[in-house]
Amino acid sequence: MSNPNWKRVVIKVGSALISPNQQGCSSHYLLSIAQFIVRCRANGTQVVLVSSGSVAAGAHLFPEQEKSDIAVKKAMAAAGQTEMIATWDRLFDFPSAQMLLTHADLRDRERYVSIRETIFSLLDNNILPIVNENDTVTTDKLKVGDNDNLSAMVASASEADALIICSDIDGLYDKNPHEHDDATLLKTVDHIDESIYAMAGGAVKGGVGTGGMRTKIEAAEKAVSHGIDTYIINGFTELSFNMLLNGENPGTHFKPHAKPMQENVHWMRHTSNAQGEVIVEGDFDASLDSNADQLTSSEIVDVKGEFSVGDTILVRKEDGTKLVKAKSNYSSCLLNFIANQENEEFANEFEEKTGPIISDQHIANLEKE
């Protein structure tokens, strides 16, 4: 690394740093992170903070409650969120702002653009955005699930140069360093593939967070595809942040793609969820990522799920091969009707009048997956 010349950075802080003992918020580990943010801003770098910890911070207020109960967890999040934001706010001498998001906010294009505009407006006015998932209202259908992936989505939305993900170890090792003394730290990852995921294992058992090393790699994959330098570092040591500011790599550096995805394509592929599927003939080989008109009702063999005009859908072959995620210009009901017409001339005339089935402005190619 050379001396960092970041215009904008997203830093993700987990529950274990916010509330190590689940006895409310502690500033013990947050002081060095806050100082890093202060120094970044002094160097002219804008910062967005993605902070987990509301559930862990509020846990001590429900000593007699069953912590696994969903309603109790939501209440813990509601109570803990105010304490967490207050703790962060005390560490800064500049204003901060709370942004609570669900995946429904991110996967809806109009709301996603609104989130971008809010972040940019806050940064332009020297206000620190503090982002967290809105655990008080999320359901399985609406939640991102972990703040590692949320931080990657936020990094993409905010057009960040770098994403810094804090962990409890120095970075990605070739095997679990808690179990193997000969584990080796990977200082640089040029390409994320299955061999990299194999090193991650699962979530940490007994931890206060919802993610593990695997979700951090998932986040890194999202970020680097948008051209964002991504680092997994040890957030418990001040040295990590000093090294970053000195242009040194304290953990694992995931190098960004040389040709990043365009913003709208990245959003379609990594943020928007498919609400249904369109199954096409097995020999269909059109390049949908460059020509939406290639997909017509004559190629469709089945429509799965219920979706509306403007929803994201997955287009795949009968053998399961994924082709693209795309914005649908038809509802599932109408698409079923058109695809089931025996009169092909009628279907062709209908499509000529109403336009292509999917929008060529919002297509993310998946064929290489």
Outline which parts of the chain fall under CATH 3.40.1160.10.
Answer: 8-266
Outline which parts of the chain fall under CATH 2.30.130.10.
Answer: 274-365
Write down the CATH number for the domain with range 8-266: 3.40.1160.10
pTM (predicted TM-score): 0.84
Q: Where are the alpha helices (DSSP H) in the chain?
A: 15-18, 30-42, 54-58, 70-90, 103-107, 109-124, 147-157, 194-198, 213-224, 238-245, 263-270, 332-339, 344-354
pLDDT in tens, the chain (369 residues): 555 789 999 999 999 999 988 788 999 999 999 999 999 999 999 999 999 889 999 999 998 777 678 888 899 999 999 999 999 999 999 999 999 998 889 888 899 999 999 999 999 999 999 999 998 887 665 566 688 999 999 999 999 999 999 999 999 999 888 888 899 999 999 999 999 999 986 444 444 444 589 999 999 999 999 999 999 999 999 999 999 999 999 999 999 998 888 888 888 888 888 899 999 887 776 566 556 667 878 888 899 999 999 889 999 988 888 888 888 999 999 988 887 876 667 667 777 777 788 876 667 777 554
Residue 283 CB neighbour total at 10 angstroms? 8
- DSSP lists the bridge partners of residue 11 as 49, 164
Give the CATH fold of the 274-365 domain.
2.30.130
| Six-digit token string for 181 | 């003394």
Strand 229-234 to strand 252-254: parallel, antiparallel, or no bridges (unpaired)? antiparallel
302 SS3 class: strand
HSE at residue 333, side-chain half, CA atoms within 13 A, is: 2
Phi, psi of 337 (to 5 degrees): -60, -45
Can you tell me the distance from the alpha carbon of 363 to that of 183, in angstroms, rounded to the nearest whole number? 41
